[in-house]
Each structure stands twice: as structure tokens, then as C-alpha cells.
Structure 1
């Protein structure tokens, strides 16, 4: 199956069903006879501008982000407000806890912005580590992220 056909199928599923995780999306694709890897689905999610939004049952679901006029920084700010539980600075790193299944979204956005304060990111299911060169740069990043969330978080 071509990439464009797979992505069209993903769009249709996201519009017609509540899909809350990449695993759920992978399983639904497999049920329709489409084989894809988690890495492929992750790229598709980014290219299709899928974001997590609140669902009717109190959880989250993938939605197609319609306003492509926003900058990456705006997308990061919006995502931080929607999915981050807390941020903790630990020496030269910031540890960001998200609702499950969202750390990779923050990581991908962080990787797309050329922050001089960031050496690299490591994202899991619900935690992302943002690594800086030193504690001063980590503090700048902590302040940047906290301001984007419009709230003061515990450190």
C-alpha cells in the first residue's frame, strides 16, 4: 500500500472513530489488512498534523489539527498545556511527565525547534528527558516550558 493511501485511511479512521494511542491505531490498520511499523505510524501522525485532544469519555483521542498557520512553537505550547502533568529540573536536565502516549509528541516538537539550550531529547511513553549542556541552560528551558504552559510548575 502506498503511503498516501495509508495516510488517507488513517485520516478516515481518526475522523470516524476515537483512537487514543498509536498501538490502537496500529491494531485498527492491521484489522483492515494494512501492515505498518510503530515508526511509520509515528511519522504519519506528525505529517498528518494529528494531535491529542480531550475525548467525550474523559480520555484523549487523535484529532486532525486544522490550523496549519501556527508555528512549531505555537504547536508546542498548545501540546504542553494539553498533555503535560509536570516538569522537574534535575541539574542539567528537565524531566517532563505527560499523560500516557504523549511524550513522543513533545519530543518531536522539541527536536524541530533549534533550541540552543537543548543538546538532545529522549522520549518514552509518558516521560521525556530534555538534556542541556549545563544547569543554567536547563533552567532557561524549564522557564521557557513553564511559561508556555501558562502555569508555574513544581521543580
Structure 2
């Protein structure tokens, strides 16, 4: 298990055990547990983990959102359906071919999703190059992205 996964596991345990009202409060609890994290990283973790704020009277607290996919996942599904032309793993990369003018949107969505396999995205007009650490990570990323593609896309 890598550092991010360990941190996510601790965050889940903390918010399940007690009501945490702010990012600062969560950050302090992580530090008490030996995990030092910047506010920016914590904010990304909250987004990536799809945590929600639950309102209780005048206060709100973090909770695990189990019911729905994130807005970025929904957006990726739409783009896969509307704009994906071809997707293929190549060595330590995944090549995403789109209709003209839409590749940068794919890159932005993938950057926002912050998948652990993705090191970076480089996008032009109709190609988004997804760079991964190695061939295995690229294949894992490809398999994850396939889940967002229309069911018959790879059966053509």
C-alpha cells in the first residue's frame, strides 16, 4: 500500500470514528497520527475520495459519499461517449484519440480525477497522451478508463 492509500485509509477511519467539521481539523488529526500533509494535498484527497459535507443543524461534517459517482467521473463518461475516437495503451502511456478540439478537455478531466496511475497528461488538438510510471500502470489506467467508455466501444 502506497503513502496516499495509507493516508486515505486513515482519513476514512477518522471521519467514520468522529465528526470532523473542517479541513484544518482533519489536517490536525492527521498530524497527531504522524501524517503530515499540505492543505492542497488534503483538498485533493477529499475530492478524490468523494467525501461529502453532511449538514446537521448549523454545523456540517465530512462523511463518505457512497451513493454517487463524482462530477468528474460523470463528465468523463459523457466525454467518452461523445468525443472518444480511439484509446490504446502503448508502453508506459495511454493514447486517447478524440474528435478535433476535444483532447484538452479529456486531459483536464483526467487531471481533476487524479488517478494514481497517471503521472501527467499532454494534450494537443485531438490526442491526449496519458503518461504512466511503467507499462503495468499504463495497462491499469487503460482498464480503469475502459470502465467509463460506452459498453460497445471496444467491440467495434
Q: Note the residue ranges of structure 1 that are not aligned, 5 or more in a row.
A: 1-68
Matches within 5 A, 1:74-113: 74-113=74-113
Cα 1:78–1:136 change in 2 (3 A) is same
Mark the structure with the bigger radius of gyration. 2
Q: Note the residue ranges of structure 2 that are not aligned, 5 or more in a row.
A: 1-68
Structure 1 residue runs of 4 or more that deviate by more than 4 Å after TM superposition: none
1:85 and 1:97 in contact (8 A); partners too: yes
Cα 1:119–1:72 change in 2 (3 A) is same
In 2, Cα distance between equivalents of 1:92 and 1:70:
27
Deviations 1:32-78 (A, max 9, x none): xxxxxxxxxxxxxxxxxxxxxxxxxxxxxxxxxxxxx9611111111
In 2, Cα distance between equivalents of 1:129 and 1:114:
15
Structure 1 residue 80, shift from structure 2 partner: 1.1
**Correspondence 1:72 to 2:72:** yes
1:87 and 1:153 in contact (8 A); partners too: no
Aligned to 2:128: 128
Q: Root-mean-square deviation (CA), in Å?
A: 1.8
**Correspondence 1:137 to 2:104:** no
- Tell me the TM-score normalized by structure 2: 0.52
Aligned to 2:115: 115
